[in-house]
A and B are shown apart, each in its own frame.
Chain A
Amino acid sequence: MWDYISYLVMVPMVYVAFTTLILGIIFKVYTVYKSPSIPARLGVYPQDDITPVGIIKDSLFWPVALKKSPLLWGFLMVFHLAIVFLIIGHMELISDFRVLQIIPHDVFLGAGALGMILIVSTLYFLFRRFRSPFREISIPEDYLLLIILFFSILFGTIFHMSARYGSYSELVKISAGDFREYFMGLITFKPVLSYKLALAPHFIVLVLHVFFSNLFIILFPFSKMIHSLFIFFAISLKRK
């Protein structure tokens, strides 16, 4: 039974998640593309930098948020940067990208620290919504997404740290190579869930990590997570 569930999460659900993500984003962009434009200019003034550089600056560095709440901005910045590094880290589990090795490192650059940072910042985002006035404007989606993300990061970090720092025999200790085999199998549509992976200590933690990540990925295009894409469009209207 457990084998069956873990296989479901580690293989079919991953396919479902990424298919939903890709089709969902295409659907969202298509819906916008099909919606009518309006002749009005919706910008605010003064418009100091209306070039793509200005739009990218506002979209990636949120100077407006920095001015209004440096503390929140700090957490947001650290959080998003950590996400970027973790995406890079996961890409290195797929294959060994030379460019990423300019600074030679073991896979997962932060060696667990990034996970910790994410745990703390996710908790910060969650806890700030527990009190007024943010409690009043929050809706279940805001909490649920953070909780899903929190579990995904928590289990991912536990798994990574225990694999990295746990004193296991080399026989059962899993390496980047074992993941590459798993990911390559998924990418080439010949999925394998090797015994080594399945018998690794804390395999259940890995399954939980993948489960919550899948869930998050499925919800991504249909929730407020789409802000990561739409921010560029919305900001370009502000500067038009």
Chain B
Amino acid sequence: MENQKIEEFKQLIKSRLNKPMRYYLDVCTRCGLCYDTCHAYYGIPKKEYSPVNRAEVVRKIYKKYFRPSGKFFPYWSDATEIDDNVMEQVYEAAFSCTGCRRCMMFCPFGVDMPHILSIAKLLLIANETAPEELVMLADGAVEKGKSIDLFKEGYRNVIKDLETEVQKKLNLPSSENLIPMEKKGANILYVGLSGANSIVHPAVIFNSAKEDWTLSYFEAVNFGAFVGDPEKMQFIANRIIKEAKELGVKEVVIVECGTAFRIMKHMMGELPFKVSSIVEVIHRYIRDGRIKIREGSIKEAVTYHDPCQLGRNSGVFDEPRYVLKKLAGDFREMTPTRELNWCCGGGGGLVALDNEEFRIKSGKAKKDQIVAAGASVVVSACENCILQLNTINQGYGLGVEVKSLSELVSENILTGA
């Protein structure tokens, strides 16, 4: 590889050497306790899919260029220069990791693999070998942020159609204003996704709760984060923050998308509004009696898959369970569950890639959990997880029904209550 390119890579690595990165790069003793804690390793037991090995791929490069030992005595830490072969390893490490951070729960030092792998993703972008799909989706989101006025008209027309759907579901005489937009001073700015369901079901819930809400022009999903471009990630999240500030809302509610929620809640610093997941809001409405649901209406055994970014990485565990236990007579936990729950294998933007075979194999842990729980309905609260659970369902022929929590609630809401 030419020197100029290596120099560029070095600068990129340097740009990521923040405090946490320094700890994580130095603290690992390669004790191996995380070795088998990754769902990808569970499904495909190759060292490449062990968390520690993923980190080592990056660490060896870092040592080569930033440590005297790497320069003068590379044998010591197996320090490696960047070449095409190494870049392939970097790709394998970064884009087989969903960023679930399950491995972190088993590391005595709490090493954050996805944080280390953010270096890998940055190198791949510079090398122009980052997944094209993700780069394009991130660019699209950035473009939309830059020229939102061009999109507004078309989007409002789409929303009109969705309002009719909401009207039907709620048996209302008019579809007028069922999905308000650009409403200044609303309590809630709801940020959905591009799929109709991510707007219709929450709209049914908000309207039933007589909430003062408004819909965002943007999608919550952050492809900037998936592709690993910190600037695009910031830009994509900032579009929503700007919109919320301009409207002067009190709370931003994020659709069932774990990553979008975690970014807004935990990664953007202090914000002048509250950030909640739609799951928390649904829980709040039911708890406070603002919406009524058909309790115990689901007769089949139901289990819940904790989206990693919502549960382990954001702390939303109890709210979905509260809702599901009301809806279902037979609610079953997966084993292990909550913060130790296995990742489904769809996060980190992996569901957007052409990698179905890998995702079916790496979803084996999840498949085994679903089978062991003996449930026929699998509920989750993250669009990525739902897509991946469907892939697993089909891939292994499980014959279960995969549902999102908001869909389940919207279907079982008592209208006119």
Interface residues of A (CB under 8 A from B): 28, 31-32, 35-47, 58, 62, 64-65, 67-69, 72, 133-134, 136-142, 144, 222, 224, 226-227, 230-231, 233-235, 237-238
Closest to B269 in A: A39
Identify the closest chain A residue to B114 (Cβ): A42
CA distance A220 to B339 in the complex (A): 34
In the assembled complex, the Cα of A28 lies from the Cα of B23 at a distance in Å of 10
Shortest distance from the beta carbon of A32 to any chain B beta carbon, whole Å: 5
Do residues A38 and B20 form an inter-chain contact, with CB atoms below 8 A? yes
Cα distance A31–B23 in the bound complex, in angstroms:
11
Cross-chain contact of A65 among B17, B19, B108, B267 (Cβ < 8 A): B108
Closest residue of chain B to A225, judged by CB?
Answer: B29
Residue on A with the closest CB to B110?
Answer: A238
B114 → chain A closest CB, angstroms: 10
> Which residues of chain B in 1-37 are interfacial with respect to chain A, using CB atoms and an 8 Å cutoff?
17-24, 26-33, 35-37
CA–CA, A138 to B32, complex, Å? 9
- Give, as a whole number of angstroms, the nearest-CB distance from B316 to chain A: 8
A62 proximity list for chain B (CB < 8 A): 108
What are 30 A-B contacts with C-beta separation under 8 Å? A32-B22, A35-B18, A37-B19, A40-B267, A40-B269, A42-B20, A42-B112, A44-B110, A44-B313, A45-B313, A45-B315, A65-B33, A65-B108, A69-B33, A72-B31, A137-B47, A139-B77, A139-B78, A141-B76, A141-B78, A144-B76, A222-B68, A224-B26, A227-B27, A227-B29, A231-B27, A233-B19, A234-B20, A234-B109, A237-B112
Contacts of A41 in B (CB 8 A): 266-267
Asked whether, in the complex, the Cβ of A237 is within 8 Å of the Cβ of B266, the reply is no
B: interface residue count bin = 35 or more
Closest B residue by C-beta to A134: B32
Distance between B321 CB and nearest chain A CB, rounded to angstroms: 13
Task: Assess the B312–A44 pair: CB atoms within 8 A.
Answer: yes
In contact, B30 and A237 (Cβ under 8 angstroms):
no
CA A39 to CA B52, docked complex, whole Å: 26
Pairwise interchain contact B23-A224, C-beta atoms closer than 8 A: no
A36 and B18 in contact (CB under 8 A), knowing A46-B339, A224-B26? yes
Chain A residue, CB-CB nearest to B102:
A44
Whether B47 pairs with A133 at a CB distance below 8 angstroms is: yes
A57–chain B nearest beta-carbon distance, Å: 12
Query: Does A222 contact B69, Cβ atoms closer than 8 Å?
Result: yes
Residues of A within 8 A of B346 (CB): none
Interface of B is mostly: loop
Complex contacts, B22 vs chain A, CB 8 Å: 31-32, 35
Contact of A64 among B52, B76, B108, B269 (CB under 8 A): B108
Q: Is the CB of A32 within 8 A of B19?
A: yes
Q: Using a CB-CB cutoff of 8 Å, which residues 85-129 of chain B contact chain A?
A: 101, 104-112, 115
Contact A136 B47, beta carbon cutoff 8 Å: yes
Please give the distance in Å from A77's CB to the nearest CB on chain B: 11
Which of A32, A46, A138, A140 is in CB contact (< 8 Å) with B76? A140
* Binary contact track B122-161/A, C-beta < 8 Å → 1, others 0: 0000000000000000000000000000000000000000
A140: B residues at CB distance < 8 A: 75-78
B202 on interface, CB distance cutoff 8 Å: no
CA distance A231 to B110 in the complex (A): 8
Chain A residues near B313 (CB-CB < 8 A): 44-45
Question: Which residues of A have CB within 8 Å of B36?
Answer: 133
In the bound complex, residues from chain B placing their C-beta under 8 Å from that of A31 are 22
How far is B102's CA from A64's CA once the two chains are assembled, in angstroms? 12
7 smallest beta-carbon distances between A and B, as pairs: A238-B110, A45-B315, A39-B269, A40-B267, A230-B27, A139-B78, A62-B108
What residues of A have a CB within 8 angstroms of the CB of B23 in the complex?
32, 230, 233-234, 237
Task: Give the CA-CA distance A68 to B107 in the complex, in Å.
Answer: 9
Asked whether A224 and B30 contact (CB < 8 A) given A38-B20, A42-B115, A45-B317, the answer is yes
The answer to whether A137 touches B26, judged by C-beta atoms less than 8 angstroms apart, is no
Most buried by A among B18, B26, B75, B76: B26
Contact with A along B316-346 (1 / 0, CB 8 A): 0100000000000000000000110000000
With both chains docked as a complex, state the minimum distance between the C-beta of B295 and any C-beta of chain A, in angstroms: 27
Least Cβ distance of A139 to chain B in Å?
4
Q: Give complex CA distance A141, B26 in Å.
A: 13
